[in-house]
Amino acid sequence: MMHTSFSWRDLISEAVAGLASRPARTLLTVLGTVLGVAALVATVGIAQTAGNRIVGTFSELEATSVVVSNNRGYYGSGPAPVAFPQDAESRIARLNGVEAVGVMGPVNVNGALVSTVTLDDPTGLNEFQMDVVAASPGLFDAVKGQMRMGRWFDAGHDARADNVVVLGPGAAQKLGVFRVDQQPVVFIGDAPYVVMGVLRDVARQADLLNAIIMPEGTARADYDYVSGTTVQIDVALGASQLIGKQAPIALNPDDPGTYRVRVPPAPDALRNSVEGDVNSLFLILGGVSLLVGAIGIANVTLVSVLERVGEIGLRRAVGARRRHIASQFLLESTAMGLVGGVIGATVGILVVVGLAASRQWTPVLSMWIPVGAPLLGGMTGLIAGIYPSLRASALEPVDALRSGT
């Protein structure tokens, strides 16, 4: 005789009817999976959003900075430094992706002390040993500097080797220079220099804040300054890796490897490490809630099997095979998990979007999450339903019918 069968269509409609006949219980059961999946989605989403945010703030400054230097090693262990060409600034500025570039290097003033006025004051110190730094005109933009007063020197000062300096805020404080409109003078040793500006702040090369900064041309004329030690480049977002490769070639085509280049870490690596930190803890939390959800489904499905023993007996009596019974209960639990996954993913995404909106961040979520989360819920339901389904299918029809409805 032809075996009895159970079409997919009938299986689905029976499972749906089974769930719909106890709507309140079904919803409560689904709630566990909703919470688990929502927690997972929100965790991953928040981590991705925050990771993106952190990278975003880093990149304003870090990701756009490329530094080339010619001193090899901190203790001079390498070969003698190779000087940068005098037109370093224009060589680099030509590269596509460079926003600003400047050269800087220490000036050896042979131990000369710096002072504003020659004044014998036995109680106070008015001569200081200070860092003197030579800089190219473009450095101001390359370090994203801001002036407190006055202005930064330009190419003219550099070319004429004018005796002008710009003070870092620390140096100005120390020397007692509080205004520049009357062109105060500082003495390096005996040589006078007009202070044409005082910095407020720099975003890079914080050494400048306590230094006396003069044009490179002036340093060459007055001291035996040969070349800067550092080329600071401000690049467009995303161009740092490229400029990091091109800059040494532009500076020294014969032997580009002679310079050390410092570029920011690739953004992906940074983002991954941030996400990794945030994720691992909360993923465990989400996983635990999902496990609790699965246990809830398993529990309710098991109770449902015990309650519906009479139904199982009847179905066996009218021709349902063991596998038909098992598949019905398995589909019911899987459907509960799937519905929980869909609702949970929705809730989780709303949480991420809501949080991002409240902080005015851009919500970031991988494509696989809205697709994967319901599947995860369905898998949870499927796994949770295995044991109850086997219990249901293992019932002997005689025993099932004896128990009553």
Partner 1 sequence: MTTEQQLDWPSGDVPVLSLDGIGRTYMSGEVEVAALADVHLQVRRGEYVSIVGPSGSGKSTLLNILGLLDRPTAGSYLFEGREVASLNETDRTAVRGRRIGFVFQAFHLLSHRTVVENVTMSMLYTGVSPKERVERARSALRSVGLDHRADFTPTRLSGGERQRVAIARAVVAEPAVLLADEPTGNLDSRTSEAILGLFDQLRAGGLTIVMITHDSSVAQRADRSVRIRDGRLTQVEAA
| Closest CB to partner 1 among residues 2, 367 | 2
> What DSSP element (H or E) covers 167?
strand 164-167
Supply the minimum distance, in Å, between the C-beta of residue 266 and partner 1.
59
Closest CA to 384 of 344, 306, 329: 329
How would you classify the pairing of strands 191-201 and 164-167? Answer: parallel
The answer for 319, left when phi > 0, alpha when psi is -120 to 50, beta otherwise, is left
> For residues 114 and 312, which CB has a smaller minimum distance to partner 1 in the complex?
312
CB of 302 to partner 1, least distance (A): 19
Alpha-carbon span 87 to 22, nearest angstrom: 82
66 or 395, CB closer to partner 1? 395
22 binds partner 1 (CB under 8 A): yes
Residues 6+ apart with CB under 8 A from 126: 115, 116, 117, 119
Q: Residue 14 or 222: which CB sits closer to partner 1?
A: 14
Check binding of 6 to partner 1 (CB under 8 A). Answer: yes
Distance in Å, CB of 22 to partner 1, minimum: 7
Count the site residues for partner 1 by CB under 8 A: 31
Within 300-339, which residues bind partner 1 (CB under 8 A)?
A: 310-311, 313-322, 324
Taking CB under 8 A as the binding criterion, the range among 175-183, 195-203, 211-219, 391-399 that sits at the site for partner 1 is 391-399
CA distance 190 to 297: 87
With CB under 8 A as the contact rule, the residue among 3, 111, 122, 124 that binds partner 1 is: 3
Which residues in 62-97 are b (16+ Cβ under 10 Å) and which e? bbbbbbbbbbbeeeeeeeebbebebebbebbbebeb
Q: Which amino acid is at 7?
A: S
Residue 17 sits in the site that holds partner 1 (CB under 8 A): yes
Return the number of the residue (272 or 405) whose C-beta is nearest partner 1: 405
Binding site for partner 1 (CB under 8 A): 1-6, 9-10, 14, 17, 21-22, 310-311, 313-322, 324, 396-398, 401, 404-405
